[in-house]
A and B are shown apart, each in its own frame.
Chain A
């Protein structure tokens, strides 16, 4: 029997009686990262990487949570758990479990490019690897991120030269900070929507050096002709605050923008292909480097990706979970409450 298995509550380690990223209330939860589909409310005790702690507290309220370092070992009932960089968002981790020589890793969500704020992913050697497959199709092959940033900068510069405001839709936790970190602040000011500003504040307070941004605020109005860039969560696109801005050019930054159909359905002026998830080659590379024999595929194009791994000679199978990965829908429900204040 495997050290980690998928139960109806989450990824379960029976020997230690703890869950990883459970979707139903449990006693002890180890959390890979603070996105809402992995970090849910209702558990009695939480453990995560310490960079995730302030976000989880902010989003879930006063929960009992312990923060750990990457590589730090915690023993529970004889099982050794440790957190390892996943490169997905700030504070994201893969969780490694070891018991009597058997090693299993739950990777949560991950990406292989180092975005400068989320850490460099580490391929953890294991027997069983639990992987996502949000973009587990060979049509998803990301360009080098610097080319994408340059593409966004160019679009922004062009809008500015035409006296227009740029608005880019990005997840408030992860993609937003990645853009703030990597876009060219010399072009003009970057403004943030309230939901994103709240997260930035937390990171800055806990010692992260994010470049300066200006909170958009509910009152007053930007001078559109100055050509600023507003970063706002998907749920807020098209809502009240935007109606003031007649020149606003709207873009979306997401892995889904790779497909023409989704780009068109999204109805944005521009789609940039930028994801915090691994692409086809990224998934394959990491899985290969873990040297795992067993691979459990949890969310995304699970059937197809598992069949592909199976043909590569791995013991791969799919498991039903309630993780969603990157979606095109407005983020998660609790973000709506944050959104009320722009």
Chain B
């Protein structure tokens, strides 16, 4: 655990991706193969199942740290991380063991079927033999949530450096459902894999938000306009009968989206497409909420696939029959794309992104206002003569989003921030009227200045009705304008709606609570 603990400390004390990658490379150079596998697994969310209930851990930590459970809970709230809170409240000791990461992962996995008292003995004896950082990591291994600020990308880069192997090959080799308990480092990463060149994606071209008047970008006739969808930007690769789906974060996500694996049954032409991954039912685009039910599911079940079927709205073609089309102008790529779609089998979950007809900028501006009706966030403008660039570049592509929706709402709950902001209230719950009562409909955290946060906190302290741990219910007095990008029906929320990207737009000091919006107002935005 020493090496892994050092790695953790290095990663944790820097924000520089290069420094993190350097630390990872050093770790890979020193650690034994089994620990390498575990580090990769933990950083890429392949962690073993939780073997001890967290309530038990909390109880044991309070007991062994000689504090009452409520004090542990308060501490937990302020620290904000269970594994860390436990490590901090336990008596400090020097490390007395030299076992590696693999040993501890197995130690924890073996607890799964043990009796409670056996689990307790094992956990306590681990706590007693590990230092603070190691205890923290041990707790992280038990509790699961292993987020250490290392992206899959950094892991891939580090392995690529360490193994002198191209990044996309590393990414390809890390794909799949390999089980860290059963997998050898050498078989996973060192064996040549014939298909890996096939999966290689192109870098995405990313647009900037339009930052000038439309007149300044040129004549309307020089531009294509398309809807800008709110999904996951994706690259779909079909080469030699294999299908790969990459997300913009350059993660391979085909396993989560098996819908596309049928492409080779209908298509012999090879291509690389750029588009937006969405949940689409009967040609209708669904809200981002529904796509979220698919994200992060490595193996979606039958019901999920049926309820939230994914599709791609395709807006560009980067490669056709082995030829790189990126240097060709947008309008020529579009022609190839249209040809491809003309003969595409209808059962494939792919749709071409329609071009929007417009004669002048005013007409386009009017059309933009109707974006929400078709679940779009606004428009994309693409220069007909532009090539497909690499990364975020100005000039040929612009995104032109609609203004956010807003609702005036009353603050009814406030929650203290974490850590050094624990004396300030930073998380708020807002409500709108339904008849005579206020219905909570969203939370929002950001959007106020530091001074406003301080002023609101003062108000909360003076106007608290009741406290529920860190949460205070407050006199419904303050009105805020809440802005958001989307709204969807939701059975999980009392109000029946869920918002996308809610934030505080401004404090409406000019409004009384009675003047806030009603739930009917809010639902009319659906």
Q: Is the CB of A271 within 8 A of B13?
A: yes
Q: Is the CB of A139 within 8 A of B75?
A: yes
Q: Is the CB of A304 within 8 A of B12?
A: no
Query: A28 contacts which chain B residues (CB < 8 A)?
Result: none
Give the contacting residue for B78; candidates A263, A265, A301; CB below 8 A.
A301
Instruction: Known contacts A139-B88, A259-B84, A269-B14; decide if A304 and B71 are in contact (CB<8 Å).
Output: yes
Q: Is the CB of A137 within 8 A of B419?
A: no
Query: A139 contacts which chain B residues (CB < 8 A)?
Result: 75, 78-79, 85, 88-89
Return B470 CB to nearest CB of chain A, in Å: 11
Task: Tally the A-B contacts, defined by beta carbons under 8 Å.
Answer: 61
Q: Is the CB of A267 within 8 A of B74?
A: no
Give the contacting residue for B13; candidates A137, A263, A304; CB below 8 A.
A263
Instruction: Known contacts A139-B78, A304-B74, A311-B68; decide if A262 and B84 are in contact (CB<8 Å).
Output: no
Q: Is the CB of A261 within 8 A of B15?
A: no
A143 to B92, CA, bound (A): 8
Give the contacting residue for B419; candidates A261, A304, A308; CB below 8 A.
A261
**A100 on the interface (CB 8 Å rule)?**
no
Q: Is the CB of B92 within 8 A of A260?
A: no
Return B354 CB to nearest CB of chain A, in Å: 45
**B65 on the interface (CB 8 Å rule)?**
yes
A302 to B419, CA, bound (A): 15
Q: Is the CB of B75 within 8 A of A261?
A: no
**A328 on the interface (CB 8 Å rule)?**
yes
**B509 on the interface (CB 8 Å rule)?**
no
Q: Is the CB of B75 within 8 A of A270?
A: no
Instruction: Known contacts A143-B92, A261-B80; decide if A138 and B67 are in contact (CB<8 Å).
Output: yes
Query: A263 contacts which chain B residues (CB < 8 A)?
Result: 12-13
**B326 on the interface (CB 8 Å rule)?**
no
**B321 on the interface (CB 8 Å rule)?**
no
**B117 on the interface (CB 8 Å rule)?**
no
A334 to B89, CA, bound (A): 37
Give the contacting residue for A327; candidates B70, B74, B88, B420; CB below 8 A.
B420
Return B109 CB to nearest CB of chain A, in Å: 26
**B81 on the interface (CB 8 Å rule)?**
yes
Q: Is the CB of B88 within 8 A of A141?
A: yes
**A336 on the interface (CB 8 Å rule)?**
no
Query: A258 contacts which chain B residues (CB < 8 A)?
Result: 88
A327 to B424, CA, bound (A): 13
Q: Is the CB of B12 within 8 A of A264?
A: yes
Q: Enumerate B47-76 residues with CB–CB distance to A below 8 Å.
A: 65, 67-68, 70-72, 74-75
A307 to B67, CA, bound (A): 13
**A256 on the interface (CB 8 Å rule)?**
yes
Query: A264 contacts which chain B residues (CB < 8 A)?
Result: 12, 15, 149
Q: Is the CB of A260 within 8 A of B84?
A: yes
Q: How many residues of B contact A (CB 8 A)?
A: 26
**B418 on the interface (CB 8 Å rule)?**
yes
Query: A259 contacts which chain B residues (CB < 8 A)?
Result: 79, 84, 88, 419
Query: B13, B81, B84 — which one has the most chain A CB atoms within 10 A of its CB?
Result: B13
Return A252 CB to nearest CB of chain B, in Å: 11
A328 to B418, CA, bound (A): 14
Query: B79 contacts which chain A residues (CB < 8 A)?
Result: 139, 259-261
- In the complex, residue of chain A having the shortest beta-carbon distance to the beta carbon of B14: A269
Query: A301 contacts which chain B residues (CB < 8 A)?
Result: 78, 422
Contact mask A114-144 → B, CB, 8 Å, 1/0?
0000000000000000000000011111010
Query: B67 contacts which chain A residues (CB < 8 A)?
Result: 138
Q: Is the CB of B418 within 8 A of A261?
A: yes
Query: A328 contacts which chain B residues (CB < 8 A)?
Result: 420
Give the contacting residue for B420; candidates A141, A256, A269, A311; CB below 8 A.
A256
Query: A267 contacts which chain B residues (CB < 8 A)?
Result: 15
- In the complex, residue of chain A having the shortest beta-carbon distance to the beta carbon of B66: A138
Give the contacting residue for A260; candidates B70, B75, B81, B422; CB below 8 A.
B81
A128 to B291, CA, bound (A): 61
Return A82 CB to nearest CB of chain B, in Å: 33
Query: A261, A269, A270 — which one has the most chain B CB atoms within 10 A of its CB?
Result: A261
A264 to B78, CA, bound (A): 15
Instruction: Known contacts A139-B89, A261-B79; decide if A269 and B65 are in contact (CB<8 Å).
Output: no
Q: Is the CB of A138 within 8 A of B419?
A: no
Query: A270 contacts which chain B residues (CB < 8 A)?
Result: 13
Give the contacting residue for B75; candidates A138, A265, A327; CB below 8 A.
A138
Q: Enumerate A280-309 residues with CB–CB distance to B below 8 Å.
A: 301, 304, 307-308
- In the complex, residue of chain B having the shortest beta-carbon distance to the beta carbon of A144: B92
Contact mask A153-179 → B, CB, 8 Å, 1/0?
000000000000000000000000000
Q: Is the CB of B65 within 8 A of A138?
A: yes
A304 to B68, CA, bound (A): 12
Return B492 CB to nearest CB of chain A, in Å: 28
Contact mask A226-248 → B, CB, 8 Å, 1/0?
00000000000000000000000
Query: A262 contacts which chain B residues (CB < 8 A)?
Result: 419-420
Q: Is the CB of B419 within 8 A of A265?
A: yes
Query: B13 contacts which chain A residues (CB < 8 A)?
Result: 263, 269-271
- In the complex, residue of chain B having the shortest beta-carbon distance to the beta carbon of A308: B71
Query: A139, A258, A259, A263 — which one has the most chain B CB atoms within 10 A of its CB?
Result: A139
Query: A311 contacts which chain B residues (CB < 8 A)?
Result: 68
A265 to B75, CA, bound (A): 19
Contact mask B283-327 → A, CB, 8 Å, 1/0?
000000000000000000000000000000000000000000000
Query: B15 contacts which chain A residues (CB < 8 A)?
Result: 264, 267
A327 to B420, CA, bound (A): 8
A13 to B71, CA, bound (A): 33
A265 to B74, CA, bound (A): 21
Query: A271 contacts which chain B residues (CB < 8 A)?
Result: 13
A270 to B13, CA, bound (A): 6
A303 to B166, CA, bound (A): 56
Query: B89 contacts which chain A residues (CB < 8 A)?
Result: 138-139
- In the complex, residue of chain A having the shortest beta-carbon distance to the beta carbon of B77: A304
Contact mask A296-337 → B, CB, 8 Å, 1/0?
000001001001100100000000000000011000000000
- In the complex, residue of chain B having the shortest beta-carbon distance to the beta carbon of A329: B420
A143 to B93, CA, bound (A): 10
- In the complex, residue of chain A having the shortest beta-carbon distance to the beta carbon of B84: A260
A270 to B420, CA, bound (A): 18
Query: B68 contacts which chain A residues (CB < 8 A)?
Result: 308, 311
A276 to B206, CA, bound (A): 50
Query: A140 contacts which chain B residues (CB < 8 A)?
Result: 88
- In the complex, residue of chain B having the shortest beta-carbon distance to the beta carbon of A311: B68
Return B49 CB to nearest CB of chain A, in Å: 25
Query: A258, A260, A269, A307 — which one has the most chain B CB atoms within 10 A of its CB?
Result: A260
Return A266 CB to nearest CB of chain B, in Å: 9
A307 to B68, CA, bound (A): 11
A258 to B80, CA, bound (A): 13
A139 to B75, CA, bound (A): 7
Closest 9 pairs between A and B when the two form their complex, measured CB to CB: A139-B88, A261-B419, A138-B67, A139-B75, A262-B419, A138-B89, A304-B74, A328-B420, A137-B75
Known pairs A137-B71, A261-B81. 16 more at Cβ < 8 A?
Answer: A138-B65, A138-B75, A138-B88, A138-B89, A139-B85, A139-B89, A141-B88, A141-B92, A256-B420, A260-B79, A260-B84, A261-B79, A267-B15, A269-B14, A304-B74, A308-B71
- 30 contacts across the A-B interface (CB closer than 8 A): A137-B74, A138-B65, A138-B67, A138-B75, A138-B88, A138-B89, A139-B79, A139-B88, A139-B89, A141-B88, A258-B88, A259-B79, A259-B88, A260-B12, A260-B79, A260-B84, A261-B80, A261-B419, A262-B419, A262-B420, A263-B12, A264-B12, A264-B15, A267-B15, A269-B13, A301-B422, A307-B70, A308-B68, A308-B71, A328-B420
